[in-house]
Amino acid sequence: MTAARVPLADYGKVATRDVHQAAEQVGRIFCAHRLAPLDRAPGFNALHNHCRFPGGSINYVAYGGDVEIDPGCLERFFLLQIPLKGAAEIRCGGRTTETSPGQAASLLSPTQPSVMRWRASCGQLILMLDRAPIEAAVSELLQEDVGELVFSPRVRLDSDFGRTLFAQVSRLAARAEAGGLENRRVLERISDTIAQALIWNQDSNRRLLLLKSEDRTPLPPARIARALDYLDAHLEDPLDVADLARHCGCSIRALQAAFRRHCGETITATLETRRLALLRERLLSCDRDYSVTELIHACGFSHLGRAALAYRQAYGERPSDTLRASKAYM
């Protein structure tokens, strides 16, 4: 049987069996901390793979054996830790959280002291998010100084939000592994989306105020028009809801609520309708030997079958029928 590939294997920074060396080298990437093995077995080892991008980093950290990690307060960053193997006990700000694969992850806030026990040779996918831009985003939304932002340390991975969050962080790690000159910007966009998801969906000391502020100030129609103009200008590109929200000067949640209120459908549904209209326009005016598949992909659809079905439901014929009829009249 082939062993599973270790995440971010091309970004190895630490691989050692020496406890002091592990604490020093991992500390350079995250922050200074105390590291202590909890068993007497000679199997201690440490592995840290690390890819930095603007606003944070994606990491895979694993320890052989049981260890205790005491970083105190992180100060500069938030730390989302998703266990892929083993388990951990996280004490953060007076609260204790048990984490394990598929059940729960942990989210450490910069101002809350934490102590962690990683058990059963735990390995975790870890997203580090710089503190300043996240607190600045919340301050901008509330139109006041946010002070310290403190998240609930337990993130349920068996909830809809948790499963989506895990998929987003996994996608971030996969994109990091893909490499490429433009990848840093892609990683930054994905991490921004994750940060927005945490701000609006994870319990925190500011979430209730955020929800109340959104209820008090629904978006005006002009913001919706701006959003639609943006969608029309980017129909051929993958949808980045975080970029769209920034363009409109609002939160993702406010934009989603506004689309439901003013358009009667989600942002994704609106985008699909406009992409279908673009596809029909191109099918009817196609003057070169393009295939239906090429035209569908050129209109921003990633799944050929679903796009063809949606087109048939919208226009009562298959894309190939439209293309064949348009060529017959040329």
Specify which residues 110 forms β-bridges with.
Answer: none
Q: How far apart are the C-alpha atoms of 71 and 27, rounded to whole Å?
A: 9
Residue 1 is predicted with a pLDDT of 35
Which amino acid, residue 327?
K
Unique residue bearing structure tokens 């050129």: 298
Residue 254 makes CB contacts below 8 A (sequence gap 6+) with 214, 217, 218, 219, 245
pLDDT tens digit sequence for 205-225 = 998 888 776 655 567 788 888
User: Most distant CA pair in the chain: distance in Å?
Assistant: 82
Rounded to the nearest 5 degrees, what angle is found at the Cα of 273, between the Cα atoms of 269 and 274? 120
Residue 4, helix vs strand vs coil: coil
Q: How far apart are the C-alpha atoms of 329 and 258, rounded to whole Å?
A: 42
Residues 65-82 have a mean pLDDT of: 96
Length of the chain: 330
77-91, 132-146, 217-231: which is most confident: 77-91
Q: Is 132 exposed, middle or buried (0-12, 13-18, 19+ CB in 10 A)?
A: exposed
Report the predicted TM-score, pTM, of the whole model to 2 decimal places.
0.71
Residues 227-256 have a mean pLDDT of: 86
pLDDT tens digit sequence for 267-290 = 888 999 999 999 999 999 876 678
4 pLDDT exceeds 70? no
